[in-house]
Amino acid sequence: MIQEPARDAIAAVLVALAFITPVRAEGDIARGAQAARMCMACHSFAPGRHMTGPSLAEVWGRKAGTADGFTRYSDALKHSGLIWNKQNLEAWLTNPAALVPGNAMDFPGIADAPTRADVVAYLEAVSTGRVTAPDRGLPNLKKADLASQVTAIRYCGDAYRLTTADRKTHTFWEFNLRIKTDGSAQGPLAGKPVLIGSGMHGDRAEVVFARPDEISTFIQRQCP
Ligand code: HEC
């Protein structure tokens, strides 16, 4: 006779198999997670976090072109009438331009059919909450550390001098400092721009403001 704990273990395995087997037949979620890295230059899998492309967190079963808060859809995608089910995602990832001519996703498609199936399985698993996607999107700039919080920007000659909350000054040639805005929930607090980038010790960086109208008032023309 099987002891209680053993029976529990077998039951657990059976449940796990029931869960995994049909998925593996269609595409492998773990391999899909790896392959989906190629999407992450433009997409986040975190709900509501839009980048170049809309968040893919809840794409499964959704009508194309309807992610809440994403304002840059092409007319072509908005009017495509597609629902993002397995078949349409397969076709989209095979050749986006062929499925929806004139769409704005600058991506050639995935030529390899098994990899495509893996990515589609992953999209379903994330959308249905079966797996949690790592948020590889942008950092939350409301939580910037002292070394990244910009307290003053002075402009003189061809240079920007940035003071950060840790009382350090960073000087950049004006052409090497990118000025950006991020009005999303992850963007900086109003009036609290954030310094990020390829090393605050390097010769290039970017400073991100909450809104464009802050930029010219924050930057003071002042020589040291
Ligand atoms: C170069 C940037 C870029 C890459 C890389 C990219 N996408 Fe996109 N994606 C976009 C943009 C932009 C849109 C919106 C297209 C439009 O409006 O025509 C989009 C739209 C989509 C949509 C439709 C979403 C909706 O709400 O209707 C899906 C699904 C999608 N992408 C999946 C993927 C997947 C999966 C990958 C990786 C295999 C990927 N994308 C790679 C930029 C990209």
In a shared domain, residues 121 and 162:
no
Q: Where residue 98 sits, what CATH number does that domain have?
A: 1.10.760.10
CB of 57 closer than 6 angstroms to any ligand 1 atom: no
The number of distinct structural domains making up the chain is 2
In a shared domain, residues 182 and 109:
no
Listed residue (74, 69, 104, 34) closest to 186, CA to CA: 69
Ordered DSSP codes for 16-27:
HHHHHHHHHHH-
CB of 96 closer than 6 angstroms to any ligand 1 atom: no
In a shared domain, residues 37 and 72:
yes
Can you tell me the distance from the alpha carbon of 173 to that of 170, in angstroms, rounded to the nearest whole number? 10
| Strand duo 194-196 + 169-173: pairing | unpaired
Going from the Cα of 13 to the center of ligand 1, the distance in angstroms, rounded, reads: 37
Can you tell me the distance from the alpha carbon of 22 to that of 116, in angstroms, rounded to the nearest whole number? 17
In a shared domain, residues 98 and 53:
yes
SS3 184: coil
CB of 41 closer than 6 angstroms to any ligand 1 atom: yes
Per-residue pLDDT of the chain (224 residues; tens, 9 = 90+): 444 444 454 444 444 444 444 444 579 999 999 999 999 999 999 888 899 999 999 999 999 999 999 999 999 999 999 999 999 999 999 999 999 999 999 999 999 999 999 999 999 999 999 998 876 656 789 999 999 999 999 999 999 999 999 999 999 999 999 999 999 888 999 999 999 975 556 889 999 999 999 999 999 999 98
For ligand 1, what atom is nearest to the CA of residue 123? 35
For ligand 1, what atom is nearest to the CA of residue 66? 26
In a shared domain, residues 123 and 149:
no
pLDDT on residue 48: 86
